Amino acid sequence: MLDAELDLIERCQTGDREAFEELFTFYRDDVFRFAYLVVRDSTLAQDVVQETFLKVFRSIAKFQFRSSFKSWLYRVAVNEAITLLRRRKIKEELDPAPGASQEHQRDRVERAWQPEEAVLDSEERHLLHVAIGRLDPVHRSVIVLKYFHEFSDTEIAAVIGCPPGTVKSRLHRARELLRHQMARQMGRPDLIALSYHRLSKTSLVPCEE
């Protein structure tokens, strides 16, 4: 942990709101990008960011520096994103759109989560983006942390609170699911490693007005 960040956290723990604003400004874009890639909607991603930093603000006095602050912050963000998605799924099941089939609702969500036009320069990227969106929230989260935020397996383990072996297992399962979808859609599962690299180097977050 950098000395400057350590100083900010210690100031936050004394109730220094300006220090928390600095911490928020430093991490908010990364947390938003993570949340957007998991929840697939900019408004919902903003909700994740808001709830994440609200919980961090309320709990930062209890942070004991046993792990990196970044890992702790992302653990809160992962939990908030997954909780929000589960709540939304329950709401949709209880109150579906009038006359809409599940297939129609799924298609509508996918259309709402199209990447920026700059990303749509290859069918491969587009299909992988859609395939990632079809993963369940847990597997989607580990893929985003690994390939979009370049977390190590050990760092992901700290974020999601499980052994590194479980992270490896979830990443393997997620990659297999993506390969299956890519093979079905493109007939080229061998392209998936290149796709990860391209997508991780490309912003998929909508630009602010």
* Average pLDDT in the chain: 78
Average pLDDT over residues 111-140: 65
Query: Is residue 38 within 8 Å of residue 144, measured between CB atoms?
Result: yes
- Going by the DSSP 8-state scheme, the letter that residue 16 receives in this structure is -
Query: Which of 7-21, 99-113, 132-146 is least confident?
Result: 99-113
Structural element, H or E, at residue 47: helix 42-59
19 residue type, one letter:
A
Average pLDDT over residues 66-84: 92
Nearest 5°: the CA angle 42, 37, 204 is 80
Domains and CATH numbers, the chain: 1-102 (1.10.1740.10), 114-204 (1.10.10.10)
Q: What pLDDT is stored for residue 113 in this prediction?
A: 35
Cβ burial 140-162 (10 Å sphere, 16+ → b, else e)? bbbbbbbbbbebebebbbbbbee
Q: What pLDDT is stored for residue 147 in this prediction?
A: 87
- Phi, psi for 68 (deg, rounded to 5): -70, 150
Which of residues 3 and 5 earns the better pLDDT score? 5
CA distances for 2 relative to 6, 7, 143, angstroms: 6, 9, 26
Query: Which pTM was predicted?
Result: 0.72
> How many angstroms separate the CA atoms of 103 and 90, rounded?
16
> How many angstroms separate the CA atoms of 101 and 191, rounded?
33
Q: What pLDDT is stored for residue 48 in this prediction?
A: 95
Average pLDDT over residues 116-134: 64
Q: What pLDDT is stored for residue 201 in this prediction?
A: 53
